């Protein structure tokens, strides 16, 4: 009987050892809402044998979940949009430094968090959309964000609300470059030029220009790509076709850039696999998949933007402000927007 128990024990230990070897996985919390990302994770598993377990949700909800779970969180990686969200988690000590020469060589320093605790996976530009029937290319050619506070644009600008993180980061970038006082002066003039009370998402701002509710809108460029591709329906495609896109501040510091990015959690149970997944997402192959399905811009310089986006400019000048500034200056940006009446 004792011999039998010992034999069974050895067998059980062997089974657990084998399971340990082959139970290779990585746990991903992501607020990116693209179904096409699933194909990336499936390809990663096919190449490495590492299974990707995905928990999807809104950024704020996932951040709260990570905070609630604390040291016991099963999450290895958190992927979200906007550098300010990543900075907030880093500030509270939830990320670890990413130790990968491949990642550091691939991602420019201004698109990485302090101590390399998070990195960009894709770039997003916040640009100007305009009605070419009302505004000529000559009028728009040198237009900067700062110019939009000029009274000649009174009643002509559409943009979403101040509680939108994309707008908060845009204002934070202005604070980083001009200081609070100058940015507040700008914001007062900018808000006075709104054509309507801020409402809707980014696509709604582009549609407002197409419908004649505004002559200018500010929105992220990839939404325009999604609309033009027809992925958001025929009506939105028709609206996008009535509108043109302009990269602001090309004679100055360049167009505002934000990111989709990721960090590895401090207590990640599979940190080595997490590093491998991030390295994979920054390969040429994965970057091409991202830009051709989400219309974001690549982080890897040798990868070209999607052809839908390339028609508006492939080599536009980008603002080199460190995206980590957006998180650091977010509280100042939010208070400033409130003071100037940006609803």
pLDDT attached to residue 278? 98
pLDDT beyond 50 at 127: yes
Q: Are 306 and 291 in contact (CB under 8 A)?
A: yes
Smallest CA-to-CA distance from 297 within 327, 257, 324, 248 is with 257
Taking only the tens place, the pLDDT of each residue in 74-103 is: 999 999 999 999 999 999 999 999 999 999
Closest Cα to residue 153, out of 110, 180, 126, 193? 193
Domains and CATH numbers, the chain: 23-123+257-310 (3.40.190.10), 126-256+317-339 (3.40.190.10)
- Please return the burial class of 61, using the count of CB atoms within 10 Å of its CB with bins 0-12, 13-18 and 19+: exposed
Contacting residues for 129 by C-beta, under 8 A, at least 6 apart: 205, 206, 209, 216, 217, 218, 219, 224, 243, 244, 245, 246
Strand partners, 25: 51
Percent of the chain at pLDDT exceeding 70: 93
Strands 119-130 and 216-220: antiparallel
Give the count of beta carbons closer than 10 Å to the beta carbon of residue 115.
11
pLDDT at 5: 40
Tell me the pLDDT tens digit for each residue of 275-325: 999 999 999 999 999 999 999 999 998 999 999 999 887 789 999 999 999
pLDDT tens readout for residues 146-205? 999 999 999 999 999 999 999 999 999 999 999 999 999 999 999 999 999 999 999 999
pLDDT for the residue 266: 96
Beta bridge partners of 128: 218, 246
pLDDT digits (tens, 9 = 90+) for 5-61: 444 434 433 333 333 344 599 999 999 988 899 999 999 999 999 999 999 999 999
Q: What is the helix (H) or strand (E) element at residue 192, kind and residue range? A: helix 165-192
Judge whether 129 and 207 are in contact, CB under 8 Å.
no
CA distance 327 to 333: 10
Examine the pLDDT at 333 and tell me if it is beyond 70.
yes
- pLDDT for residue 23: 58
> What is the predicted pLDDT for the residue at 33?
86
């Amino acid at each position: 009987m004792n011999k039998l128990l010992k034999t069974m024990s050895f067998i059980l230990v062997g089974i657990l050892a084998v399971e340990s070897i082959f139970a290779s996985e990585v746990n991903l919390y992501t607020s990116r809402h693209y179904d096409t990302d699933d194909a990336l994770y499936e390809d990663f598993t096919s190449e490495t044998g590492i299974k990707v377990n995905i928990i999807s949700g809104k950024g704020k909800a996932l951040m709260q979940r990570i905070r609630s779970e604390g040291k016991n969180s099963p999450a290895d990686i958190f992927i979200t949009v906007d550098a300010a969200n990543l900075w907030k988690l880093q500030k509270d000590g939830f990320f670890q430094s990413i130790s990968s020469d491949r990642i550091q060589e691939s991602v420019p320093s201004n698109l990485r968090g302090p101590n390399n605790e998070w990195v960009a996976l894709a770039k997003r530009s916040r640009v100007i959309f305009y009605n070419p029937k009302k505004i000529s290319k000559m009028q728009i050619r040198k237009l900067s964000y700062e110019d939009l506070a000029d009274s000649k644009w009174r009643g002509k600008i559409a943009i979403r609300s101040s509680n939108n993180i994309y707008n908060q980061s845009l204002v934070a970038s202005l604070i980083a470059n001009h200081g609070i006082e100058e940015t507040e002066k700008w914001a007062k003039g900018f808000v006075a030029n709104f054509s309507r009370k801020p409402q809707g998402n980014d696509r709604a701002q582009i549609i407002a220009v197409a419908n004649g509710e505004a002559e200018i809108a500010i929105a992220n460029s990839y939404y325009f790509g999604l609309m033009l591709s027809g992925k958001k329906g025929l009506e939105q495609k028709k609206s996008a076709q009535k509108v043109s896109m302009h990269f602001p501040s090309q004679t100055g510091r360049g167009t505002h850039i934000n990111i989709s990015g990721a960090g590895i959690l401090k207590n990640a149970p599979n940190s080595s696999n997490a590093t491998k997944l991030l390295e994979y997402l920054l390969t040429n192959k994965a970057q091409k998949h991202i830009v051709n399905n989400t219309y974001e811009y690549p982080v890897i310089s040798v990868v070209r933007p999607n052809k839908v986006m390339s028609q508006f400019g492939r080599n536009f000048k980008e603002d080199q402000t460190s995206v980590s500034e957006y998180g650091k200056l977010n509280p100042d940006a939010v208070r400033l927007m409130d003071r100037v009446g940006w609803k």
